[in-house]
Amino acid sequence: DTEVTQTPKHLVMGMTNKKSLKCEQHMGHRAMYWYKQKAKKPPELMFVYSYEKLSINESVPSRFSPECPNSSLLNLHLHALQPEDSALYLCASSQGGHSGRRWRDSPLHFGNGTRLTVT
């Protein structure tokens, strides 16, 4: 088990559904990330929050909507997804974040992911 907790572990949703993925960490990390990973591919960055503010949005379609209610929580709201959005969604956190004028490097710690299937 990792120190980054993601729920649910599995999710099956129809294209008209609205659902949310949740991520929680209590390591005091100031940066949190959403990644999407397709089979046999490396993770693809979707969003980065630094100090609870959206820092990076990698041109992700608006049917994915991130939210960072506080420094420990990160949500990903899903609406009107397509079957090609089926993937493993990974949350990660790191100590580093945008502090002052530059990012502080530190390794990412990943959750176990949510396996999403869109039907």
Q: In the complex, which residues of this chain contact other proteins (CB under 8 A)?
A: 2, 4, 41-43, 45, 48, 56, 88, 90, 96, 98, 101-103, 105-113
Structure tokens at 7: 């729920």
The minimum distance between CB 60 and other proteins, in angstroms, equals 15
Find, among 111, 76, 77, the residue nearest to 93 by Cα: 111
Residue 20 CB, shortest distance to other proteins, in Å, is 20
Strands 73-79 and 18-25: antiparallel
For residues 48 and 56, the answer to whether their CB atoms sit within 8 Å is yes
Q: Report, in Å, the least distance between residue 78 CB and other proteins.
A: 20
Cβ closest to other proteins, residue 22 vs residue 79: 22
Choice between 16 and 39, CB closer to other proteins: 39
Preceding amide of 42 cis, omega within 30: no
**Which residue, 17 or 112, is less far from other proteins as judged by CB?**
112
Query: Is 10 or 83 the residue whose CB approaches other proteins more closely?
Result: 10
Query: CA–CA distance from 102 to each of 53, 71, 76, 112 (Å)?
Result: 15, 19, 26, 29
